[in-house]
Amino acid sequence: MFYQLAINFCILFTFSVLSYWPFQDRVRFRIPFPRLHPILIGMMAGVTGLFLLGASVTISDGVIVDARLPVIILSGVFGGPASPLISALIIGIDRIMLGGFSGEALIAGSNTLLIGAVAALIFMWRGASFRTARFVFHYAAVQTGLVIIYLLPAGSNMVMNVSIFALYSYISFFTITFILAELSGHFKKLSGIERLSRTDYLTGLHNSRTFGELSEALLTGDRPVSLILLDIDRFKSVNDTYGHPAGDEVLRELAFRLKNFRLPEGAILSRNGGEEFSALLPGTDKQEAAAAAESIRRAVGDNPFILDSGLSLTVTVSLGVSAHPEDAAGTKELYELADEALYRAKNSGRNRVAVHGTTQPVS
């Protein structure tokens, strides 16, 4: 019996890890159609239940022990309320069929269906988490234990059989819960590291690496893509006069204003390094980008930056604009031309917008 229970647990462990891993490790896996994930997880848990039923241990006529409860409940952690409903439906129907539609099988199968329904309601009420799963499991274990007591024939060792069920269910559930919780935490850390590697830590905007990747992906075909490069004027004097913490506040405030500025739809904002920022504008021609750059210049220069210390600073920016495919075919050339226009704006007195292909700054 214990050998069979060990096999049952191995099935639970294998299917749980293999089923949930791809949905949680979003750094290396990108499973399409995320709205269908709860259905897929529920179906995977249901298939796992079929294998568990096939490797179940008979403790009395019509009464079997397996790890179906953990797999139904854990599906709700990763798939939400829909998953335990689906998995319980698959497992419950199979339990009834496995018992030949006998009275015991109908009761056991109905118990599984009821647990799935109640689990769905509780996950909907309290949220999909391991804490909620533990709450659901205690309920399911008590209910199933009562069902086993009811189904056990007279003269059977009730205490022994119920103890075997309870001990095995609790050990398997909490062991798998611990392992999956550790994996889930590990995947969240990986996701956070991946996000940090693609995001500027100070402003929350894309970093230069992500800017390069996104611009390479956008600059294909003849669809217009414009680039605005902007640089804070005399930023070094801010650091020298007020200190680097004040300079960091200025950078964060500029990023905040850019994120809340009404740029053309699909704009991609990045901090390319130091005090230089960029805005990639897919589907925007150079004339529209120049107008957006001028609006940014005015919005920054006309509204003082108020630091946490109460200090009010007037900050201005210089901007350069270039466009694909009008000016450049590739990312490197697009950036270099916008950079040239930016420095022309700087050399023309700062607080200016310069557009590649024109001889004078816009303003």
Active site residues: 275
Query: Is residue 60 helix, strand or coil?
Result: strand
Give the type of residue at 293: A
| 63 in Cβ contact with 152 (< 8 Å) | yes
| 100 in Cβ contact with 61 (< 8 Å) | no
**Residue 227: beta bridge partners?**
280, 322
**Backbone φ, ψ for residue 227 (5° rounding):** -125, 130
Query: Is residue 93 helix, strand or coil?
Result: helix
Q: Which helix (H) or strand (E) holds 17?
A: helix 2-24
Q: At what angle do helices 130-151 and 103-126 cross, to 10 degrees?
A: 160
| 70 in Cβ contact with 173 (< 8 Å) | yes
| 353 in Cβ contact with 337 (< 8 Å) | no
Q: How many other CB atoms are there within 10 angstroms of residue 287's CB atom? A: 13
Which residue matches tokens 């201005």? 316
30's torsion region: left (phi>0), alpha (psi -120 to 50) or beta? beta
Q: Is the dihedral of CA 125, 127, 132, 138 positive or negative?
A: positive
Query: Is residue 304 helix, strand or coil?
Result: coil
Q: Which helix (H) or strand (E) holds 323?
A: strand 317-324
Q: How many other CB atoms are there within 10 angstroms of residue 178's CB atom? A: 11
275, HSE (Cβ side, Cα atoms, 13 Å) = 21
Of 343, 339, 345, nearest in space to 361 by CA? 345
